[in-house]
A and B are shown apart, each in its own frame.
Chain A
């Protein structure tokens, strides 16, 4: 509030000074105040507690915990005046992805998130948080809508993956994911992605090409589910705990690998035990990153987004002499 008031005052003084009045000193004073205030809000979040002793498989279970806050819980708590939008205008509406406009700290934003159900009925509707192509196309439609008005995009990811079904394949799920990933690189507004629960493979990254990628402490993000990995590489789906450890799919690992930018700490035992705390911490982080990103010129924003992902990957350079 104070922040906005200061900004308003500076703006007013600027308008006044256009009439020949010298207000540069006053403006400078207020700007200094504003900068100080910014520094306060930008103070780094407490580094995640060294709770990394938690086994990776334990974290997988926490990430999938049925009481964990879901996308709609975050939307309700972090934003005001959420207005949900439906349909991809091509085929249908997909309730596994929730999207719309909302106000976040006074700023209109686009929200996109995958949504799981709390009970059997809701899970039928939400398809256990596994979207179809129309879900991703709806998300892209609304993000582009937001782009036309300069609304930043906040995505919340909690999905086992895109739905493995006949209809999804018939409607080109692979193409829909590819298109989202591609278009996200050219969306001329800030994009902040947060992995809040399960970040399941292609279905997750199609919403996670962000200027910042945040991740809750007990969330997971992986190229394949531990069960899938165990079935394919270990030929035994019951070896999922081993696969979970091998895949390095938890937030501390991913931070080290440079795939995510920040870990959002959770209370001991998981986000569901004290949802208020997690929601508050995430809100602070989103606000801080959004503030930084909104200050960047669009060209720089897009270049940095591209460069961020261009750098991802680890390989070995080999000397020319070992080539034949």
Chain B
């Protein structure tokens, strides 16, 4: 899947990747109306009839946010291993699951990291793809996020994390839990380098990722329609045996309980990011000392 003349990090597949089915129309899951697929795509994957958000793949998300032609994939060439030799009860081994996800998405992993510009500002993006085993965090995602942070420091770029994940990758057991610590330990490098970390939570941002790197942003934005929380609704319901509030773990819920700085509509996300990045502008690309000095002078003048 080449866009802007650049390729995403992919692996060679035995079978050709699955093409989108060729139908021109789709039915909106919210309003039930038949809508023209092309119109939906042009509309940032939002239903043109009722405004319902359909999820974005990582490449679509990147396309939506970055300056055209500026994106370059900087993923480490790694893919998931099977340290536990994990087999689901249905007999499907973890490596098969990975392979299937790769075939279905055309991506090597559940996360794409890349270097880009947004409104001219240098950023390192880390974007999860929910289609790839629920965007769950295993050893690969942990390492790619650390790689992204290292690159942000090297390039003096802002770090922008876009979460779409159900949480930890159970098939990697304890090692997936350890990625919470691994990613959190890398986060400090950004603070030390005085580089901003903007965390964008989308549908869904839950469990192991929500309880680690996604909650450690300097600025935290929730996309309209996001689902944000630690424990899944179903588990909580089973535990407390009570009905849950209608708006439980919605974007609005997260905002009202002080978990995110702002709620942003998808079509405004790029502009919102540019606004935020501009406030950190002097710190991006220049060394912090130089930047702070320049900023002071500007303020005095």
Contact = CB atoms under 8 A, between A and B. Distances in A.
Q: Do A and B bind each other?
A: yes
B83 A314 contact: yes
Which size class do B's interface residues fall under? 35 or more
B84 A246 contact: yes
A136 to B, nearest CB: 10
Interface string A288-321: 0000000000000000011001101111111110
B211 A202 contact: yes
Given A181-B184, A323-B10, A257 B88 contact: no
A222 interface: yes
A223 B89 contact: no
A209 B174 contact: no
Contacts of B257: 170-172
Interface stretch (A77-85, A233-241, A279-287): A233-241
Given A223-B174, A232-B170, A309-B182, A172 B140 contact: no
A138 B88 CA distance: 39
B89 A164 contact: no
B5 interface: no
A251 B104 CA distance: 37
Nearest to A208: B181
Best-buried of B140, B212, B214, B236 by chain A (most CB within 10 Å): B212
Interface in B201-216: 206-208, 210-216
Contact of B211 (A177, A186, A221): A177
Nearest to B259: A172
Nearest to B140: A315
B25 interface: no
A322 B10 CA distance: 9
A312 B174 CA distance: 10
Given A313-B182, A314-B139, A233 B236 contact: no
B280 interface: no
Given A172-B257, A313-B139, A178 B77 contact: no
Contacts of B287: none
Given A249-B173, A324-B7, A185 B236 contact: no
A58 interface: no
A123 interface: no
A34 interface: no
Contacts of A248: 84, 173-174
B79 A162 contact: no
A111 to B, nearest CB: 21
Contacts of B228: 174
Contacts of B231: 162, 164-165, 168-169, 173
A181 B178 CA distance: 11
Contacts of B240: 164-166
A181 B186 CA distance: 11
Interface string B122-163: 000000000000000011101100100000000000000000
Nearest to B142: A313
Contacts of A164: 230-231, 235-236, 239-240
B249 interface: yes
B22 to A, nearest CB: 23
A261 interface: no
B187 interface: yes
B116 interface: no
A92 B285 CA distance: 44
A95 B259 CA distance: 24
Given A178-B184, A178-B216, A320-B77, A172 B174 contact: no
Contact of B178 (A170, A235, A259, A318): A259
A43 to B, nearest CB: 29
28 contacts: A162-B231, A164-B240, A165-B239, A165-B240, A166-B242, A168-B231, A169-B231, A169-B248, A172-B215, A174-B210, A174-B211, A174-B215, A178-B215, A181-B184, A182-B216, A202-B177, A202-B207, A229-B170, A232-B170, A233-B88, A236-B89, A259-B175, A314-B83, A315-B139, A316-B81, A318-B11, A318-B78, A320-B77
Closest 6 pairs between A and B when the two form their complex, measured CB to CB: A313-B139, A234-B89, A178-B215, A174-B230, A164-B231, A314-B83
